[in-house]
Amino acid sequence: MKQFYDLARWRARIFSKLMSIVLLAGVVAAIPSTLMALADGMWPIAAMDVLALAWIFAIWRLKRLPYAVRVLNFLAVLYLVGVGLMLGVGAVSQIYLMAPPVLAVVFLGTRQAIAALLLSGATILALGLGGYTQLFVEGLDHGVLSSLVVTLNYLCVGAAITITCGTLVKGLSQTLGEMQGFAASLEHKQARLHELNAELRLTSAAVARLNDMVLIARAVDAPGAHQPIIFANEAFERRTGYRRDEIIGQSMRVLHGPETDPDEVARILWAVARNEPVKSELLNYTKGGDPYWVEMEMVPFASEGGRHTHWVVVGRDITERRNSARAIHHLAFYDVLTGLPNRRLLTERLDTLVAARNAGGPLGAVLFIDLDNFKTVNDARGHATGDALLRSVGERLVSVVRARDTVARLGGDEFVILLQDLGDDVPAATDAAVKVAHKVLATLGAEVVIDDQLYRSTGSIGVALPLRPGLSGHDLLREADVAMYQAKAAGRNGVALFECTMLAEAEQKLTLERDLAVALDNRELAMHLQLQVGQDQRPIGAELLMRWRRSDGILVPPEVFIPIAESTGLIVPLGNWALRQACEAWLRLQQAGHALPLSVNVSPVQFRQPDFVDQVRAVLRDSGVPGAQLIFEVTEGLLMEDLDQTIARMHELTQLGIRFSVDDFGTGYSNLAYLRKMPLYELKIDKSFIRDTPNDVNGTAIVQSILAMAEHLGIRVVAEGIETIEQAKYLSAPGGPCMQGFLFSRPAPLEDILATLSGTDSPAA
């Protein structure tokens, strides 16, 4: 390409061609002219022709000679031929002398051309002045003047032609130079294009093999128009199952499916409409319909002119990441056993519900459900059954509420239902919530079969609505919890609607809990004794009853603080303390000569402590009190749960001499078969049956049947709560029960009892 635009090469080529033509033409012309010259006897002409021809042949042939030498030789031939012809033919041949300067400018350059022109001009002048050639000019006689005129004419014309040719050659040279520059830049561009091409091939090979999915879509500006895919890489084909030819021309929307978030899609379309890049996490579907999560970035691609022509979409499969994030989320917000929302998620939803209500939204309600006696199932049947029961309860709870409501498990046997959108009318919303609570009770009461065993649960449900202004989600849950405790206290398997008074009670309970925790250390607790008498009305024993006088002087009844102590676990240290107090009291009584056996109330919580027997053994050993001097009063509730273990433990204690009494007998659950199985010494008829004796027919009937049953079993009976002489008289009969009540002795400090005993040494009343 380069040589094409090189003037020197052009000159060489033209010169070479010219030489061929000149040689050919020379041969053709020289043969007849030489023959004619020879025939005319003009041998110098013939010789010159031959010489010139030979010389031209040599120039044509000797291509190894430098170009300039060859050209100069050629010019020399022309010059000499011109001079020869001037001499031989005359002035007309001066036209031959025109050739050297003209060809010099073409083949060599302007300077050489001027030299040739001047040489030719000088030669013509010299030939004219020397008289070798007749340079005749019409009207001019003078030979010198004619020669000058002819020479000048020659120089003028020669110069005009030479300069014209020179200018042409110069122009051509310039054009060639430009062409050469252009060609060079073209060559450079081509090389760059090659490079780019190679880069492009490399990039597209890399894109094709990339692990990320890559799509390129043509940008179509029309609103709502789909952007047809024009390229998809291998990773895309692999992940989606679409072949390239199947996806080309399609819209990316073919990848969406039923679970693809429409809001997210709308956001992407919005960005597309505005030619803006967009990032998104989206659920897409493979050709086979399998969902997968993709993290994608869609970037507009503009042409060099700035026009937006394509979309480049790069997507990464994040299904695994999403799944593990979802699993982590599930672990954090859902209960593992039932799969229901846990406390954390419930708290979030509660806060949302309350916030919505505080902002004027519709009412909702919270149902706090606690299963009654779930612990019994768990203890008796094992945790696997307990878990299955909890799962079944969860499923049933979900089945009675609407999809938008929440059923959560707080832990243990506590569930919470969050009812949404109950309208604005408070009575109607309350009514609806209570109705759902009753539906829940009904579904809990339905029989379920677990491991071939029939189970029926009951529950206590507290209902609360966000009615108080400024209430928090936590407050609302607490209100429902408080109401649930009311439902439990009211006999279980029921529904209680939260009332503000309950909160005060709960508040009070909390205060009591706190105060009770320090009551023992603060020496606010004391043990009183209540004497029991036999049929002869002589003291046969005494029951120890705990008393709590708070630092502010207020006496808290055991009916209030004992359940609190039980629910908080404080009953364990309190019960231990009571046991030691009983031993101390017995020793004091013994010292005073009244070694009466003492009855100690033992809570089920205390009794079930794994080290209870050891504790008792230690107390007896430390105090030296014989076990036979203590009667443990237990309630029927204890005997209901985990009977085998209870009986085993009772036997362990009887080994220490301890005797057992069933307190408040008749108020518990009526299965009497257990009575036979356990080492019982005594039954205490509950004071509620004595209260209306002998006037109430039902009461007396129960008392009589308990007495008959005890006699049958060979168990001693103590009738509690004897307040009147009528009651005492009614129960006074041979083989009648021992008695305990205000009629004989009010519970009093040991000192008072000692005084009573020593004062009378006879019947207590």
Asked whether 629 and 539 are in contact (CB, 8 A), the reply is no
**In terms of CB distance, is 281 or 692 closer to ligand C2E?**
692
CB of 717 to ligand C2E, least distance (A): 14
Q: What is the Cα–Cα distance from 497 to 440, expressed in whole angstroms?
A: 14
**In terms of CB distance, is 52 or 600 closer to ligand C2E?**
600
Q: Does 601 bind Mg ion (CB under 5 A)?
A: yes
Q: What is the Cα–Cα distance from 524 to 332, expressed in whole angstroms?
A: 45
- Nearest Cα to 465, choosing from 426, 510, 496? 426
Asked whether 196 and 133 are in contact (CB, 8 A), the reply is no
CB of 664 to Mg ion, least distance (A): 4
Asked whether 541 and 597 are in contact (CB, 8 A), the reply is yes
Question: Which partner, Mg ion, ligand C2E, none, binds residue 587 by CB below 5 to 8 Å per kind?
Answer: none
**In terms of CB distance, is 37 or 658 closer to Mg ion?**
658
User: What x-and-dash track marks residues 181-210 binding Mg ion by CB under 5 A?
Assistant: ------------------------------
Phi, psi of 259 (to 5 degrees): -100, 0
Identity at 555, one-letter amino acid code:
L
CB of 606 to ligand C2E, least distance (A): 7
Question: Which partner, Mg ion, ligand C2E, none, binds residue 742 by CB below 5 to 8 Å per kind?
Answer: ligand C2E
CB of 496 to ligand C2E, least distance (A): 24
Question: Which partner, ligand C2E, Mg ion, none, binds residue 603 by CB below 5 to 8 Å per kind?
Answer: ligand C2E
- Nearest Cα to 526, choosing from 755, 747, 745? 747
**In terms of CB distance, is 239 or 716 closer to ligand C2E?**
716
Q: Does 112 bind Mg ion (CB under 5 A)?
A: no
Identity at 373, one-letter amino acid code:
N
Q: What is the dihedral of CA 26, 27, 30, 36, to 10 degrees?
A: -160
Residue that the structure tokens 């609302």 belong to: 476
CB of 546 to Mg ion, least distance (A): 10
CB of 622 to ligand C2E, least distance (A): 19
Q: What is the Cα–Cα distance from 385 to 414, expressed in whole angstroms?
A: 17
Q: What is the DSSP string of 269-337?
A: HHHHHTT--EEEEEEEE-TTS-EEEEEEEEEEEE-TTS-EEEEEEEEEE-HHHHHHHHHHHHHHHB-TT
Q: Does 664 bind Mg ion (CB under 5 A)?
A: yes
- Nearest Cα to 350, choosing from 436, 484, 426, 464? 464
Question: Which partner, Mg ion, ligand C2E, none, binds residue 576 by CB below 5 to 8 Å per kind?
Answer: none
**In terms of CB distance, is 205 or 526 closer to ligand C2E?**
526
The helix/strand count (H/E) of the chain reads as: 27, 22
Asked whether 381 and 453 are in contact (CB, 8 A), the reply is yes
CB of 555 to ligand C2E, least distance (A): 10
* SS3 call for 370: strand
Residue that the structure tokens 């033409």 belong to: 25
Q: What is the Cα–Cα distance from 638 to 602, expressed in whole angstroms?
A: 10
Question: Which partner, ligand C2E, Mg ion, none, binds residue 706 by CB below 5 to 8 Å per kind?
Answer: none
Question: Which partner, Mg ion, ligand C2E, none, binds residue 741 by CB below 5 to 8 Å per kind?
Answer: ligand C2E
How many other C-beta atoms lie within 10 A of the C-beta of residue 761?
11
User: What x-and-dash track marks residues 698-737 binding Mg ion by CB under 5 A?
Assistant: ----------------------x-----------------
Question: Which partner, Mg ion, ligand C2E, none, binds residue 557 by CB below 5 to 8 Å per kind?
Answer: ligand C2E
Q: What is the Cα–Cα distance from 467 to 432, expressed in whole angstroms?
A: 15
* SS3 call for 357: helix
**In terms of CB distance, is 377 or 571 closer to ligand C2E?**
571
How many other C-beta atoms lie within 10 A of the C-beta of residue 197?
10
Applying CB under 5 A, the span of 611-619, 655-663, 727-735, 750-758 interacting with Mg ion comes to 655-663
CB of 423 to ligand C2E, least distance (A): 46
Which tokens sit at 345? 């998620």
Task: Name the DSSP class of 133.
Answer: S
Question: Which partner, ligand C2E, Mg ion, none, binds residue 578 by CB below 5 to 8 Å per kind?
Answer: ligand C2E
**In terms of CB distance, is 481 or 636 closer to ligand C2E?**
636
Question: Binding residue for Mg ion (CB under 5 A) from 663, 675, 693, 722?
Answer: 663
**In terms of CB distance, is 413 or 633 closer to ligand C2E?**
633
CB of 659 to Mg ion, least distance (A): 14
Task: Name the DSSP class of 223.
Answer: T
Q: What is the Cα–Cα distance from 299 to 314, expressed in whole angstroms?
A: 8
**In terms of CB distance, is 182 or 742 closer to ligand C2E?**
742
**In terms of CB distance, is 369 or 570 closer to ligand C2E?**
570
**In terms of CB distance, is 173 or 568 closer to ligand C2E?**
568
* Residues 6+ away with beta carbon under 8 Å from 106: 11, 14, 165, 169
Asked whether 406 and 341 are in contact (CB, 8 A), the reply is yes
Question: Binding residue for Mg ion (CB under 5 A) from 335, 633, 636, 642?
Answer: 633
CB of 378 to ligand C2E, least distance (A): 23
Question: Which partner, Mg ion, ligand C2E, none, binds residue 731 by CB below 5 to 8 Å per kind?
Answer: none
* SS3 call for 341: strand
DSSP E strand stretches across 60-170: none
CB of 727 to ligand C2E, least distance (A): 9
**In terms of CB distance, is 418 or 574 closer to ligand C2E?**
574
**In terms of CB distance, is 486 or 530 closer to Mg ion?**
530
Size of the site for Mg ion (CB under 5 A): 5
CB of 678 to Mg ion, least distance (A): 17
Identity at 592, one-letter amino acid code:
A
Asked whether 86 and 93 are in contact (CB, 8 A), the reply is yes
Q: Does 636 bind Mg ion (CB under 5 A)?
A: no
CB of 527 to ligand C2E, least distance (A): 7
Judged by the rule CB under 6 A, the positions of this chain that interact with ligand C2E are 530, 544-546, 557-559, 562, 575, 578, 601-603, 633, 663-664, 687, 720-723, 740-742, 747
Which tokens sit at 1? 């390409």
Question: Which partner, Mg ion, ligand C2E, none, binds residue 721 by CB below 5 to 8 Å per kind?
Answer: ligand C2E
∠ Cα 581 587 593 (to 5°): 135
CB of 684 to Mg ion, least distance (A): 5
**In terms of CB distance, is 481 or 633 closer to ligand C2E?**
633
Helices (H), 465-603: 473-489, 500-519, 558-568, 571-591
Q: What is the Cα–Cα distance from 290 to 38, expressed in whole angstroms?
A: 109
CB of 602 to ligand C2E, least distance (A): 6
**In terms of CB distance, is 73 or 688 closer to Mg ion?**
688
Q: Does 479 bind Mg ion (CB under 5 A)?
A: no
Chain contacts with Mg ion (rule: CB under 5 A): 601, 633, 663-664, 720
